[in-house]
Structure 1
Amino acid sequence: MTMFLTIAVIVLIFVVIFQIAKASEYVSVLKGEEVSRKQNNKINGFLMIVFLVLGLIGVWYCNKLYYGKTLLPHGSASVEGERVDSMLWVTLAVTGIVFVLTQIILFWFAYKYQETEKRKVFFFPHSNTLELIWTIIPAVTLTVLVIIGLRNWFLFTGEPPQNAAVVEVTGKQFGWIFRYPGKDGAFGKKYFRNIDPANNVLGLIWEDELSHDDIVTEQTLYLVKGRPVKLIIGSRDVIHDVGLSHFRLKMDAVPGIPTTMWFTPKYTTKEMKEITGNPNFVYEISCDQMCGNGHYSMKGVIEVVEQAEYDLYMAKQKPNYLDVFPDKDPAAAKADTTKTVAAKTADTAAKAAAKL
C-alpha cells in the first residue's frame, strides 16, 4: 500500500509541474513573449539565491542530524586506522571548501549577471593563465592525496611488526571461517578438493603435521588489544570483501589468491561499549562485495580482549584435526587410561572383598 501511495504522490507532483508549465506558456502568450521572458529571468535569478541559501542550510542541518549516527565521532578503533581517518578529514576539508565556494559562486553569478538591458555580453574566448591555474592546482592537490593514500596502503598491506599475531580469514557463502596457528606458529597446507562442510571446512591436508594443531572457528574472531594482527584473507567460493568499518580497513577475499593486511586494535569490545554508550556494541566483520542472495546476512563478530582472556579462550579450543580424529586426542587417551585403571582398581577391590 505504501508503494502505491508513493507512486501516486510522484505522479501527482509531475502533473502539477506540467500544469504550471502550461499555465506559464499561456501567460507568456497573453503578456507577450519578450516581457514574459524578462520577468521569468528575474524570478529565476531570485530563486537561484533562495536555492543557494536553503541548500546550504540543508547541508548544515543534515550534517547536524546524521553525523552522530556515523562511525566518525568515536574515531578509529585501530592504530593504523587513524591514518585513514586523518586522510578522510583532509579530503573532506579540501573537497568541502571547493564545493561550498564553487556553489556560492555558481548561484551568485547566475543572479548577479542575469540579463539586463544595461549590460552587454562580454566574449571571453581563452586565457592560458586561467587554464594553468585550474589544471595545475587540482592536479597537484589530487597527487598529494593519492600519495598519502598509497603510503597508507603500503603500510597496511606490508609486513607487520615481529610480535604480530597471524589469523587466516576465509569467506564463504555466506559466512566467515577463521584459522589460528597452533603452538608451532605455522599453518598447515590445504587443498580445496579436501573441503568437507561437516568436518573439514577449509580442506586441510591431514598428512601435513603442521595442520594438526590449527584451530578453526566460524563467525567470531578473537583478537588482542594492543597486539598487531596480520590477516591472511581468501575465499572458498566467490569474491568476497573483508570489511572492518570500526578499524577503517577492508580487503578483497579472492578464491585462490591470498591477500593480506594488518592492524593493531586500540580498544577491547568492553571498552567500546563504554565509549559508544551502546551496551550491545560489537565489532563487525562484514562482506563489502556483492556475493549472492545471502550477501546481506554475511556478518561476523570480532571480540577484542585482553591477552589473558585471549589465552584462556585459545586454551579451550580444540584443533580441527582432533575433532576429525578424536582417537588421536591425548586428553581422550589419558581419560580412557584413567577409566581403565579405575575399572581395574574397582575390580581388584571387589575380588578382595569377595574373598573376605
Structure 2
Amino acid sequence: MQRPLLVAALVLMVVGAIGLALLRPWWFAPLASNWGSIDQIILLSLLLTGLAYAAVNLFLAYCIHRYHKGPAEYIPEEPTLERRLIWITTLGIVVLLAPGLYFYAHLIRPPKEAHTVEVLSQQWLWNYRYPGPDGKLGRAEVRNASPANPFGLDLEDPAARDDIVVIGGPLRLPLGEPVLLLLRANDVLHSFYVPEFRVKMDAVPGMVTRIWFTPTEAGEFQVICAEFCGIGHARMLGQVLVLPPEEFRAWLHTQPGVAQTLGH
C-alpha cells in the first residue's frame, strides 16, 4: 500500500471509530435495575481504550508521514521512555480495574432482606425454585435429580417439601425489592444474562454461583444464555416478569409446594 493511502486509512479508522461511538447505532438496553453504575464503568473503559486506540493510530500515521524519507535509527535501549511507558500502562490498568473490582465486591454481597431464588440451567431450559412458607430453600442433592425432580430435592427434608418449583419459567420477581439468584447447572456451563438488569453470571456444574440485583421497572424481560452450551444454545431463552410486590406475593401464595406436585 502506498504511503499516502496507508496514512489516510489509519486516520479514517480513527474517525470511523469516533463516529460510531458518537452516533451509537448499537447501545445499551434500557436500564431496569439498580446497577446503573455498570454503565458508567463500561463508558469509562470505552473512553480510555478509545483514547489509546486513537493516540496509537494517529501517532503511527504521523510517523509514516513524517519519517518516510529519512533512514531509521536503531536504539536498543531508552530507559526514560521505557519508564514512562511502564507508568502510563500501570496507571491505565489501575483505572480500568479498580472500578470493576469495587463494583464486583458489591455485586456478590446481597442485602440481608433479599429474596432468594435458585436458578437451575440445563440444555436448553431455565428452571426456578422459590422458598416455601418457611422462607428457606431445602436440601438438594445431585444424586436425587430426575426428570420429575430436576433440582434433586431431598423430600425427606421438611424445608424442601414446601419449596416452589417452576419448570421452564417464567421467573417472577417483585418490583423494587432486592433479589439474590443462586445459579446451578445440571449438565454443561451456562450463563444467566438479562441485558436490562445489567447482570450476567455463569452457572457451573458442581458449584453454586450467586448474583443479586433490584428490579426497578415492571414488565417482561428476556433471559439469554450468554455461554455457548450446545447445538440448542440459540433456543435457550427465558422470560422474566417483574410484578408489583403485592401481585408477586399473591402469585407465590397460590403455588403448590414440590411435595404436592410430586405426589409425596
- Given that 2:11 and 2:57 are in contact with CA atoms closer than 8 Å, whether structure 1 keeps it comes out as no
Which of structures 1 and 2 has the bigger CA Rg?
Answer: 1
- What residue number does 1:212 align with? 161
User: CA-atom RMSD, angstroms?
Assistant: 2.0
Structure 2 Cα separation of the partners of residues 64 and 256 of structure 1: 44
**Is contact 1:283-1:302 (8 Å) kept?**
yes
The code of the aligned residue for 1:149 comes to G
**One of 97, 101, 104 as aligned partner of 1:153:** 104
Residue of structure 2 equivalent to 1:77: 32
Paired with 1:205 and 1:86, the residues of 2 have a C-alpha distance of 44
Structure 2: distance between partners of 1:87 and 1:172: 31
- Equivalent of 1:298 in 229, 233, 236: 236
In 2, Cα distance between the equivalents of 1:137 and 1:92? Answer: 17
2:48 partner letter: V
Residue pair 2:130, 2:163 contacting (<8 A) in 1 also: yes
Please list every run of 5 or more consecutive structure 2 residues that lacks an aligned counterpart in the other structure.
none
Q: 1:120-135, aligned counterparts within 5 Å? A: 121-135=72-86
> Does the 8 Å CA contact 2:11/2:61 hold for their aligned counterparts?
no
Contact 2:11 2:58 in 1 (8 A): no
Q: Which residue of structure 2 lines up, in the alignment, with residue 316 of structure 1?
A: 254
Paired amino acid for 1:129: T
5 Å matches for 1:261-280? 261-269=211-219
CA separation of 1:170 and 1:52: change in aligned 2, threshold 3 A: same
Map Cα deviations across residues 87-128 of structure 1 (whole Å, 9 max, x no partner).
11111111111111111111122112112xxx4554444321
Taking structure 1 as the reference length, the TM-score comes to 0.69
The equivalent position to 1:167 in structure 2, one of 113, 117, 142, is 117
Structure 1 alignment gaps of length 5 or more: 1-42, 270-281, 329-356
Cα deviation, residue 57, structure 1 = 3.8
Structure with bigger helix share is 1
2:95 to 124, 144, 149: 144
Q: What letter matches 1:245 in structure 2?
A: P
The one of 229, 232, 252 aligned to 2:182: 232
Deviates more, 1:96-105 or 1:309-318: 309-318
What is the CA-CA distance between 1:229 and the residue it aligns to?
0.5
CA distance in structure 1 between the aligned counterparts of 2:65 and 2:129, rounded to whole angstroms: 64
- AA matched with 2:2: N
Alpha-carbon contact 1:48-1:111 (below 8 Å) kept: no
Higher relative contact order (CA 8 A, sep 6+): 2
For these two proteins, the number of residue pairs brought into alignment is 263
SS class of match (1:202): coil
Aligned: 1:108 with 2:62: yes
Identity between Structure 1 and Structure 2 (%): 32
Question: Are the counterparts in 1 of residues 188 and 229 from structure 2 also a CA contact under 8 Å?
Answer: yes
- TM-score calculated relative to the size of structure 2: 0.91
Output the CA distance in 1 between the equivalents of 2:18 and 2:96.
25
1:1-356 alignment to 2 at 5 Å? 44-63=2-21, 67-71=24-28, 74=30, 76-79=31-34, 81-115=35-69, 119=70, 121-158=72-109, 160-197=110-147, 199-217=148-166, 218-269=168-219, 282-325=220-263
* Distance verdict in 2 for CA 1:166–1:191, change over 3 Å: same
